[in-house]
Structure 1
Amino acid sequence: MKILYVTQGYFPTIGGVEWLIQRVSEESFNRFGDEITVFTTNCYNGEGFFNPRVPRLPTGWEEINGVKVRRFSVMSRLSQLVRIPQAVAYQLQLPFNEHLRWLASGPIIPGLGKAIRQYSTDVIVAASFPLLHMLTALRSAREAKRPCVLIGGLHPVDDWGFNRSMIYRAIQEADHYIALTDYEKQYVVRRGAQPEKVTTIGLGVDPPLYKGVTQEEARQRLGLNGKQIVGFIGQLGGHKGIGTLVQAMPLIWNASPDTHFLIAGARTLFAEQLERMIGQLPESDRQKVKLYYNFPEEEKPWLFAAVDIFAYPSGFESFGIAFLEAWVVEKPVVGCRNGAIPWVVQAGRDGLLVEYQNESMLAEAIILLLNNPGWARTLGQSGREKVLARYTWPEVARRFREVYAGVLQNG
């Protein structure tokens, strides 16, 4: 099967959708011998879509683990120019504000549509909304008379990003839509998608990569101190709830003074704000917080193994792959009762859920787990059982490919 993916980023870029496309692509190539091509941008992350000053990857072709990758340049200056006008138009709910939001989101990629139309492939798969290349991929697939599957990765609680009529028209026009949770599936069906054209699959992890990593070895390797460690490991962004975690730290220290915190992720613009927040803590408390930036992917198992509790108080996630990564090493998780997260984390069974941006509830949940290590281990073990049953990359890739084969058969 020849599969063309159109997505906002690909290795070495970091993000849930980026990792999903990479792992499914490599599994399809290795297990099924599929011919996989990825069209993507030359940006390291979404900031590059509207900020012309950030570093870029080289444009052009390369091959990564059997996957052919073509990176396109992005017209970030145009997206930058419309960011203030679109904010005003959105606040006033002017009729054209949705079109301005698309331009502000970007990525504006000259030549992408033509490249898609001219490329020989069996199926075109695009990820993810609310980014502009999704509309380009669908339109180009229609013009080339090839089937198109969309992977939206929706965060419906994000009104600015996902309250856009063109998203749901595109989903209706696509040959199939892959949702990451049943929450997302039910949402797009309510917005007009045909239920038989929507499949829920989810994300995955590689359990063998996490095998044999002990907590003691991980802490020695990473230079971590503290009897108990609470960790946030993931994308550093304002909506991820890291600020709430910092606000919860003094409350946790009142009950458990020896607790240390690990915050790990790729350095972003938000990192400066995070450092200012931590800098306002007393010196003795600042020593209990370790920031760990730009770690290689192979170090991730060590990071998750090192912590006792994984705190991920994000406001909205299309899935939350970090929960799987914590569970695979049997760590209890704390998430938010928001969006798709309650469809991934079962409160009281494999983790705890709290209100978004509520530092008191977050602190209470973390203290509860710190004070009940036996129960915390049980939650983590239940999470691992769920991962092994449903969320390994070979199984996820097989199900993605099954959707593509069904689309080709029906077409």
Structure 2
Amino acid sequence: MHILHVVQLYWPAPSGAARYFQEIGKRLVAEGHRVTVLATDAFDLEHLWMAGKRRIPEPVGEHDGVVIRRLPIRRLPAPAILYPIIRRLMVELGRLGRPAIPTLRRLATVTPQLPDLEAFLADPYLADVAVVHTTNITLDFALIPVVRWARRRGLPHLCTPFVHLGEPGSEQVVRYYAMPHQLDLLRQATWVATMTDLERAYLIRRGVAAQQIVTVGAGVNPAEVTGGDGQRFRAIHHIHGPLVLSLGVAAFDKGTVHTLAAMRQLWAQGSHAVWVQCGPAFGGFAETVAALSPDEQARVRVLGYVDDTTRRDALAAADLYVQPSRTDSFGITYLEAWCNGVPVIGARAGGVPAVVRHGVDGLLVRFGDVPGIAAAIDRLLRDRALARALGAAGRARVWRELTWDAVYQRIRPLYMPHFSEHRRG
């Protein structure tokens, strides 16, 4: 069977969605299926709306037996701020409901654009595609034309939307993932694969049929994130006391700003813990770090992108992992920490409360609650027995249900025609 995956960023781009499709794709190939990935040429997400960011120039490639076709992005000749302006306009138009759907579809494809997409979809190479799997409902510029093409051909359409739910009771984040045209696309899909039951419940409330939605989650390959040398990491970065680790994008929505503020509170109270942040910085975070006092800067290690060896070493060295984010539909980094027996702190936002169980395998705080984050960090640094118990519970759960092999077993039936006939019949 020939399967088309539509993923806006793909390997080697550092994207959670890319990793999700990479893991699924290579397992489909191992079972004898052909998998083609349609991706953009973006390496950095911001390349979709901003010039000067990294891209992947090779139009054709292969990885893990999966064929990769990359199409170049074209943007309107305007400042990068045009993109968020258009998206905000779409949110406001979405208040009109279903009558706004045609206009929203047109606005979604104004910028960025994939000028070579129609020619790609007309290529005879795709003539035998049997299933289309799309993703990232908020990056709908790529989904809308592909879904229209699949519908004309009568192909089953599976969508993993990665809806970011944001804070409970607030539409500030989720409104960009639940505009009328986006919900309409999901309602017309054959299957919708969600990260958590929280995401599934939200989509059901917004009119997507319950029988269409299957929670598959995300996973980790434990062998790839364990075995690091914690002592080597500490020696290289001159860390001798407690180590608090954060991975991924340093940004407000990820809770990075709040984590730093919490650490400053603890330092003011006499803590000698060092905070390590690995990942790219957005939204003025670098300037925030630069404004710290010399004593505070001595307790911060902002490393930016790191290679896999450094990442494993950091995880092996960590005493606890902190990511109080409101924009995680799942949060794979919690699993990476658990694989190393490291307890985690997350926020009661997004899909995280379905992943991190408060008091069982981690602690949860309210998003943006700096005193609450500081108290949780301090508690786990002081109560090492609790920290070890939470980390051990997380590690056991990963091996039980949160590996990529387990994820594949949950999503695999959605690709199989007989499964669709059974469930629909």
For normalisation by structure 1, the TM-score amounts to: 0.91
The residue number in structure 2 matching 1:289 is 300
- For residue 7 of structure 2, what is the aligned residue in structure 1? 7
- How many angstroms does 1:66 deviate by? 1.3
Aligned equivalents of 1:207, 1:172: Cα separation in 2: 35
Q: Which amino acid is the alignment partner of residue 386 of structure 1?
A: R
Deviations along 1:53-94, whole A, 9 cap, x unmatched?
A: 323211411111211101101112368474365367368658
Aligned match for 1:137, one of 146, 165, 172: 146
What whole-Å deviation, never above 9, does each CA across 1:106-145 have from its counterpart, x for those lacking one?
Answer: 5421232442354132211001111121222211111122
Q: How does 1:5-404 map to 2 (within 5 A)?
A: 5-30=5-30, 32-77=31-76, 80=80, 82-83=82-83, 85-86=85-86, 89=89, 98=104, 102-103=108-109, 107-116=112-121, 118=123, 119=126, 120-132=128-140, 133-157=142-166, 158-220=173-235, 222-265=236-279, 267-270=280-283, 273-404=284-415
* 1:353 aligned counterpart, secondary structure: strand
Query: Equivalent residue of 1:37, what SS?
Result: strand
In structure 2, relative to structure 1, the CA distance for the partners of 1:343 and 1:82 (3 Å cut) is same
Over 3 Å counting, the alpha-carbon distance change for 1:370 and 1:55 in structure 2 is same
* Closer, same or farther: CA 81–344 of 1 in aligned 2, 3 Å: closer
Q: Structure 1 92/227 Cα, relative in aligned 2: closer, same or farther at 3 Å? A: same
Q: Give the Cα separation in 2 of the matches to 1:61 and 1:82.
A: 30
Aligned length: 405
State whether residues 44 and 55 of structure 2, in contact with CA within 8 Å, keep that contact through their aligned partners in structure 1.
no
| 2:169 equivalent in structure 1 | none
- Cα distance change of structure 1 residues 144 and 111 upon mapping to structure 2, 3 Å threshold: farther
- Kept after mapping to 2: 8 A contact 1:147/1:408: no
On the 8 A contact 1:256/1:367 being kept in 2, the answer is no
Identity over the aligned pairs, expressed in percent? 25
Distance 1:26 1:92, change over 3 A: closer
Aligned partner of residue 416 in structure 2, secondary structure: helix
Residue-by-residue CA offset, 1:175-224 (whole Å, 9 max, x unaligned): 1110010011111111112212111011111112234335324433x534
Q: In the aligned structure 2, how far is the partner of 1:256 from the partner of 1:383?
A: 30
* TM-score where L is the length of structure 2: 0.88
